A and B are shown apart, each in its own frame.
Chain A
Amino acid sequence: MTVAAQSEIPIAARDHPPNFDEMYAAHYADLTVQLYAYFGDRQEAQDVAQEAFCRALARWNTVAGYDDPVAWIRRIAWNLAISRWRRARTALTFLRRQPAVEPQTAGPSPERVALVAALGTLPPKQRRAIVLHYLADMSTAEIATRERVAEATVRSWLHRGRSALAAQLDPADKEGGA
Chain B
Amino acid sequence: MTDQLEELFAGMRAEVIREIKSPGTDAAHRTVRRRRTTGAVSAAVAALVAIGVVVGLTGLPRTSTLPADPATLAETARRALHESTGGTALFEAAAPVTADYSAAQTAYYGAITLHLACAGTGKITLLVEAREHDAAPYKEIARVDANCSADPEPTSTTFGFDWVSDQVVLRLADPGTSAGQAGFAYRATSDTGKPYPARPLYFGVPNRDSSLISPEILKSLMHRSGQGVFGNHKTIGGNVKPTSILSRGGMPDGEYRLLLVCLGSGTVTFELHHKEKLLFRTEMRCGSPAVQQEFPIGRIADANAQGKLSDVHLGHRSDSPGLALVSWAMFDVA
Which residues on A are within 8 Å of B, measured CB to CB? 20-21, 24-25, 28-30, 32-33, 36-44, 46, 50-51, 53-54, 57-58, 84-85, 87-96, 99-117, 120, 124, 134-135, 162, 165-166, 169-170
Contact = CB atoms under 8 A, between A and B. Distances in A.
B30 to A, nearest CB: 9
A103 B21 CA distance: 10
Nearest to A37: B12
A90 B133 contact: yes
B132 A89 contact: yes
B246 A88 contact: no
Contacts of A85: 133-135
A58 B240 contact: no
13 contacts: A33-B12, A36-B16, A40-B215, A41-B208, A54-B31, A58-B36, A87-B199, A93-B132, A100-B235, A110-B222, A110-B223, A115-B8, A134-B5
Interface stretch (B42-50, B160-168, B170-178, B296-304): B160-168
Contact of B163 (A57, A91, A110): A91
Q: What are the 9 A-B residue pairs with the smallest beta carbon separation, nearest first?
A: A89-B133, A117-B215, A90-B132, A107-B229, A104-B231, A91-B164, A166-B1, A134-B9, A107-B230
Contact of A88 (B12, B134, B162, B329): B134
B65 interface: no
B9 A135 contact: yes
A91 B8 contact: no
Interface residues of B, number: 72
A109 B208 contact: no
Of the listed residues A29, A94, A96, the one surrounded by the most CB atoms of chain B closer than 10 A to its CB is A29
B274 interface: no
Contacts of B16: 32-33, 36, 42, 112
Interface string B248-282: 10000000000000000000000000000000000
B245 A109 contact: no
Contact of A90 (B6, B11, B164): B164
A50 B316 contact: no
A92 B324 CA distance: 13
A175 to B, nearest CB: 15
Interface string B142-170: 00000000000000000000111111000
Given A104-B232, A113-B219, 12 more contacts: A24-B28, A29-B22, A54-B31, A54-B35, A88-B131, A91-B163, A101-B233, A102-B233, A102-B234, A104-B246, A108-B15, A134-B5
